[in-house]
Amino acid sequence: MGASSDPNQDGSDEQQKRSEIYTYEAPWHIYAMNWSVRRDKKYRLAIASLLEQYPNRVEIVQLDDSNGEIRSDPTLSFEHPYPPTKTIFIPDKDCQKPDLLATSSDFLRVWRIYDHDSGSGVELKSLLNGNKNSEFCGPLTSFDWNEAEPKRIGTSSIDTTCTIWDIEREAVDTQLIAHDKEVYDIAWGGVGVFASVSADGSVRVFDLRDKEHSTIIYESSEPDTPLVRLGWNKQDPRYMATIIMDSAKVVVLDIRFPTLPVVELQRHQASVNAIAWAPHSSCHICTAGDDSQALIWDLSSMGQPVEGGLDPILAYTAGAEIEQLQWSSSQPDWVAIAFSTKLQILRV
């Protein structure tokens, strides 16, 4: 992450091969972005446009290891209604299932990526509308794909609900009113457990075996302060992290001790937009924000108070406000960030 050489500006092949940073410039502002999970598709990502119009675009891009270029495949670029709020590839490292990509905007959509001898492309497999009473629905703010049970996707909506889909049956498993106000993010913590954050300022945990109840893990200290993002630590599910709207701090929670943050990360100089726990380590987290910084933190000492607060162990400064951040689960040495029209992948 410390390297500053951009391979696009460097002529020498040797330098490019060792580069720690690769950059792709999209024809539009990037918002949603994520890594592919399959072992046979290394350095593949999906990026989506943020255009204030109905037709938007999704592109699937891949780093060519031999020359250090991230390339878009025109056959894997497709039109999308409204800007996707999130995109996720199927969590299928071992390539046992069809190659799927899901997106959220007005509805949840699942796309199939195919690659035959006759050519490659992307087709819409399912359009999933959780509102039975109307052809319209509250826009989806986010979703998460259950790694332990990949037929399950959970979505969050501004209509205060979370919906759990069985994408194989293309049917709603469960829909519940999760919060008093808009739900901004959702994250799985296991097969039947998920959490959500909302404009009502709370983090709530739900267990699908007992749908009538939820546990409030945290409420923001000032009333009516929305929580906008949630990251659940996959390596140590006792911990989750959340972002307060327009705030420069990240709140880390231990679900065994509700209401009190274990630590607050306070080194960003402007609003934090994204958080990603390390997929391979229980005590590392990356955060990124409007100060153009991506920071990696080591939380192994978070039980003990650190005078003056915790400092990050790595910092990277991008060329503009970072809106999106994803840590690759199948290649944990790589983090991707999106700012303005650029996608960058950084070796950490």
| Sheet containing 342-347: order of strands | 21-25, 342-347, 334-339, 324-327
Pairing mode, strands 342-347 and 227-232:
unpaired
Handedness of CA 272, 339, 287, 188 (dihedral sign): positive
Q: What is the mean pLDDT of each run of 10 residues along the chain (348 residues)?
A: 46 55 97 97 97 98 94 97 98 96 97 92 95 75 97 97 97 94 97 97 96 94 91 97 97 93 96 98 97 97 81 97 97 97 97
Tokens of 183: 């739900």
Q: Which amino acid, 46?
A: A
Which pLDDT does position 10 carry in this prediction? 45
DSSP code string of 332-345:
TTEEEEEETTEEEE
Tokens of 162: 């979370």
Q: Where are the domains of the chain?
A: 21-347
Tokens of 181: 């106000």
CATH (residue range 21-347): 2.130.10.10
Q: Which amino acid, 174?
A: T
DSSP code string of 246-301:
T-S-EEEEETTSTTS-SEEE---SS-EEEEEE-SS-TTEEEEEETTSEEEEEE-TT
CA dist., res. 72 & res. 31, Å (int): 16
Which pLDDT does position 141 carry in this prediction? 98
DSSP state of 237: T
Which pLDDT does position 269 carry in this prediction? 98
Which pLDDT does position 15 carry in this prediction? 46
CA dist., res. 333 & res. 296, Å (int): 12
Q: Provide CB contacts within 8 A for 271, sequence distance 6+.
A: 245, 246, 247, 248, 289, 290
Give how far Cα 2 sits from Cα of 128, 292, 317, 326, Å.
42, 15, 10, 18
pTM confidence score: 0.93
Counted residue by residue, the chain has a size of: 348
If one counts every other C-beta atom within 10 angstroms of the C-beta of residue 301, the result is 11
Tokens of 330: 């199948």
CA dist., res. 186 & res. 196, Å (int): 4
Which pLDDT does position 11 carry in this prediction? 47
CB distance 63 to 336 below 8 Å: no
Q: How far is CA 315 from the centre of its chain?
A: 20
CB distance 164 to 144 below 8 Å: no
